């Protein structure tokens, strides 16, 4: 078993990790299935502070880091380059290099994004496709990936897309709220990708951790690398919004518009579907279609309970 540090545990994915692993609040140290779990957010551990990371990892004898922390404000990042770099690049380096220095067989599981691609493709992106991020957010996330790769630490980098959950701020929650307030909504139909339910990604991470812990040293190294994960299927933001509104029972009308009609400060990939063949084959993960969690009565019940 292992001592596991989960960063960013107040975010969408971090909260989902807490719900499936321990139901623990940030700052708590919990034992579950013989694993010792350390859930932290910035108030418990500032991962942009190298010294703080080294002290925490050393004191807790951390063997696995699940880095759920990220600067994800895509448009704001265009002006807030310093903070985006600190969280997405420097913090990733701090965690990976510290783990590589203080442990004999460390692992960092790091969450990255479809924004590392420029979105000009026409078929699902594979892990070895060329990265060409168009904005600050994508560039800093790509730089974070590279810092981890050269750190010497065992790593599993998971690129995901269109993340949502019952926690935090996300597209699904925004559309669900607006559907109850407005008669109509305009949503872009020419940006194509796949929604990802954070709960499904959390379960995939759980599978990866279990397989890594149960593997021998050489087998562990073979599990390392970059992987893609989203739910199955393909849709536009317009399609996603239509399904969300249908689930709310609202009569709100969703109108399709082009990206030119809905300009944003940071460029968005027009096509960012991810090929998930590698993660499914390596870890035996079964991934539900994106409509399944969106249509789940349990999901909507949980969302309602958080209002």
- pLDDT tens digits, one per residue of 52-63: 999 999 999 999
In a domain, 185, yes or no: no
- pLDDT tens digits, one per residue of 205-245: 999 999 999 999 889 999 999 999 999 999 999 999 999 99
Query: What pLDDT is attached to residue 32?
Result: 52
Q: Which domain holds residue 127?
A: 3-166+194-231+272-289
- Is the pLDDT confidence value at 29 over 50? no
Closest CA to 69 of 10, 113, 18: 10
In a domain, 184, yes or no: no
In a domain, 254, yes or no: no
**Confidence tier at 34 by pLDDT (50, 70, 90):** low
- pLDDT tens digits, one per residue of 122-176: 999 999 999 999 999 999 999 999 999 999 999 999 999 999 999 999 999 999 9
Query: What pLDDT is attached to residue 272?
Result: 96
Query: What pLDDT is attached to residue 43?
Result: 93
In a domain, 189, yes or no: no
As a whole number, mean pLDDT of residues 8-27 equals 81
- Is the pLDDT confidence value at 25 over 60? no
Closest CA to 40 of 67, 20, 63, 16: 67
In a domain, 133, yes or no: yes
- Distance of alpha carbon 57 from alpha carbon 108, whole angstroms: 12
- Please identify which of the residues 71, 137, 167, 227 carries the catalytic annotation: 137
Beta carbons within 8 Å of 215's beta carbon, 6+ residues apart: 223
As a whole number, mean pLDDT of residues 71-82 equals 97
**Confidence tier at 21 by pLDDT (50, 70, 90):** confident
- pLDDT tens digits, one per residue of 269-292: 999 999 999 999 999 999 999 999
Residue-averaged pLDDT of the chain: 94
In a domain, 246, yes or no: no
Active site residue 137: yes
Query: What pLDDT is attached to residue 275?
Result: 98
| CATH, residue 16 | 3.40.50.720
Give this prediction's pTM.
0.95
In a domain, 174, yes or no: no
In a domain, 256, yes or no: no
Rounded to 10 degrees, the C-alpha dihedral 107/109/112/116 comes to: 30
Structural domain count, the chain:
1
Query: What pLDDT is attached to residue 26?
Result: 46
As a whole number, mean pLDDT of residues 177-192 equals 97
């Amino acid at each position: 078993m292992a001592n596991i540090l989960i960063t960013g545990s107040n975010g969408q994915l971090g909260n989902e990790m807490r719900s499936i692993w321990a139901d623990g609040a940030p700052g708590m140290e919990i034992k579950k299935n013989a694993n010792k779990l350390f859930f932290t957010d910035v108030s418990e551990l500032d991962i942009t502070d190298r010294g703080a990371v080294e002290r925490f990892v050393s004191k807790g004898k951390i063997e696995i880091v699940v880095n759920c922390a990220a600067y994800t404000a895509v448009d704001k990042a265009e002006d807030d380059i310093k903070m985006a770099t600190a969280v997405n690049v420097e913090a990733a380096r701090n965690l990976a290099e510290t783990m590589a220095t203080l442990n004999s067989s460390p692992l960092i599981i790091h969450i990255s994004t479809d924004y590392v691609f420029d979105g000009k493709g026409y078929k699902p992106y594979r892990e070895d496709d060329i990265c060409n991020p168009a904005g600050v957010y994508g560039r800093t996330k790509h730089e974070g990936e590279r810092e981890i790769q050269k750190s010497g630490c065992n790593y599993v980098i998971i690129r995901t897309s269109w993340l949502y959950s019952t926690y935090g701020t996300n597209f699904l929650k925004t559309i669900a709220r607006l559907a109850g307030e407005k008669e109509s909504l305009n949503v872009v139909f020419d940006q194509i990708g796949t929604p990802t339910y954070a709960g499904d990604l959390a379960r995939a991470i759980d599978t990866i951790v279990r397989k890594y812990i149960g593997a021998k040293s050489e087998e562990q190294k073979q599990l390392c690398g970059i992987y893609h994960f989203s739910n199955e299927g393909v849709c536009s933001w317009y399609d996603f919004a239509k399904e969300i509104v249908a689930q709310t029972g609202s009569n709100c009308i969703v109108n399709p518009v082009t990206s030119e009609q809905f300009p944003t400060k940071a460029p968005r990939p027009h096509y960012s579907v991810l090929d998930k063949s590698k993660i499914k084959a390596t870890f035996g993960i079964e991934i539900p279609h994106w409509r399944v969690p969106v249509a789940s009565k349990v999901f909507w019940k949980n969302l309602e309970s958080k209002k």
